[in-house]
Amino acid sequence: SQTIHQWPATLVQPVGSPLSLECTVEGTSNPNLYWYRQAAGRGLQLLFYSVGIGQISSEVPQNLSASRPQDRQFILSSKKLLLSDSGFYLCAWSKGANTEAFFGQGTRLTVV
């Protein structure tokens, strides 16, 4: 069966510090991968998606970037965090447009 792992679960970082969140998927190959953010009191917003190694598309301009160094690994990064980057970050995978999507347990990021 397929599983998706995200870490860390919780992170408190000072403004201006770097960020690296990691997501890995097991039990499948060549998944579509997604990063979403859920800000307090707001819905989920798609940040990045990837359909293959090294292929990243950004949905919104922001202080964050994403990379996919391996087939089942998706990384969310920032060089310098802003207060507005605080939120709940969720990684997800699917096999394509018409298939079920599965989400990780999320990372709660607080920028102080």
Partner 1 sequence: KQEVTQIPAALSVPEGENLVLNCSFTDSAIYNLQWFRQDPGKGLTSLLLIQSSQREQTSGRLNASLDKSSGRSTLYIAASQPGDSATYLCAVTRGDSWGKFQFGAGTQVVVTP
What is the rounded CA–CA span in Å between residue 82 and residue 17? Answer: 9
What is the rounded CA–CA span in Å between residue 66 and residue 54? Answer: 10
Q: Which of residues 21-50 bind partner 1 (CB under 8 A)?
A: 32, 34, 36, 42-44, 46, 49
Q: Which stretch binds partner 1 (CB under 8 A): 18-26, 51-59, 63-71, 73-81?
A: 51-59
What is the rounded CA–CA span in Å between residue 45 and residue 84? Answer: 14
Residue 83 vs 97, nearer CB to partner 1: 97
Q: What are the residues binding partner 1 (CB under 8 A)?
A: 6, 32, 34, 36, 42-44, 46, 49, 51, 57, 59, 88, 90, 92, 94, 96-106, 108
